[in-house]
Amino acid sequence: MRKMNETGLFLTLEEKVRIDHTAVVVVDVQNDFCADGGWYAKNNNLDMIQSMLPRLNSFLRKTRSKGVLTVLIKTIYNKHVISAVMREKLIQRGLDLEYCLENTWGSEFYMIEPTPADVIIVKQRHSGFFQTELDTVLRHHGIKTVILTGVATNVCVESTAREAFAMDYYVVLLSDCTGTFSSQLQELTLLNIDKVFGSVCSSERIMTIWEPF
């Protein structure tokens, strides 16, 4: 195995996604965001999200088999954590105020099954880092790079990516394992992440790099 870059400056994707310092973070793959009959489906087209989930599942099976740390982020929006500014945006968009409530169908994972080795992080805002244990968990495992997957690309995935970058993690966002309700929003978010906050690539590219391990 090559010696780690002691400067911490990784210029290539291969350096950034070394198995020994990379975690896969799965954002908000829950019924209320991904399933027919969920909260998100009432106002949005889920075709992109639902079509990418088999690819995400396949990717997770492969990465888990290689011992890569998998972190599943789950949103729980119980009534007492929804602030006035959050309520205002929901009302403005004509959305229900109640979703992802604890111990309900809507908050359960959709099409992904956590394994005993996975870490589950509960969040109450868009970013997976905001007032959660995510940073503590990643640093405990010596993580330098986060590979971001999940939904919605332009909301919680992007919010998590921005904060990861601000906290000095290398960010890699998977173009084929993220989704939102608009192809335009998907492409604009990928462009923004790639230009400013990290790297964008496919899951196939990651597995090609990890093939020898």
**pLDDT (tens digit per residue) in 148-199:** 999 999 999 999 999 999 999 999 999 999 999 999 999 999 999 999 999 9
CA-based nearest residue to 180, from 60, 58, 27: 27
Residues of the chain with pLDDT under 70: 1-6
Q: pLDDT value at position 86?
A: 86
Helix, strand, coil fractions of the chain, as percent rounded to 5: 45, 20, 40
**Which pLDDT value is given to residue 87?**
87
CA distance 165 to 163: 5
Dist. CA 24–CA 148, nearest whole Å = 6
Tokens of 202: 């496919």
Spell out the residues 6+ positions from residue 36 whose beta carbon is closer than 8 angstroms to its own: 46
Amino acid at 72: L
With a CB cutoff of 8 Å and minimum separation 6, the contacts of 204 are 176
- 23, containing H or E segment: strand 22-27
Q: Give the model's pLDDT for residue 8.
A: 78
Q: Which residue has the tokens 């394994």?
A: 115
- CATH match for 13-210 among 3.40.640.10, 3.40.50.850, 3.40.50.300, 3.40.50.2300: 3.40.50.850
Q: What is the pLDDT of residue 22?
A: 98
Write down the pTM of the prediction.
Answer: 0.94
- The strand pair at 119-123 and 199-201 is best described as unpaired
pLDDT of residue 94: 81
- 69 membership: H or E segment, kind and range: strand 69-75
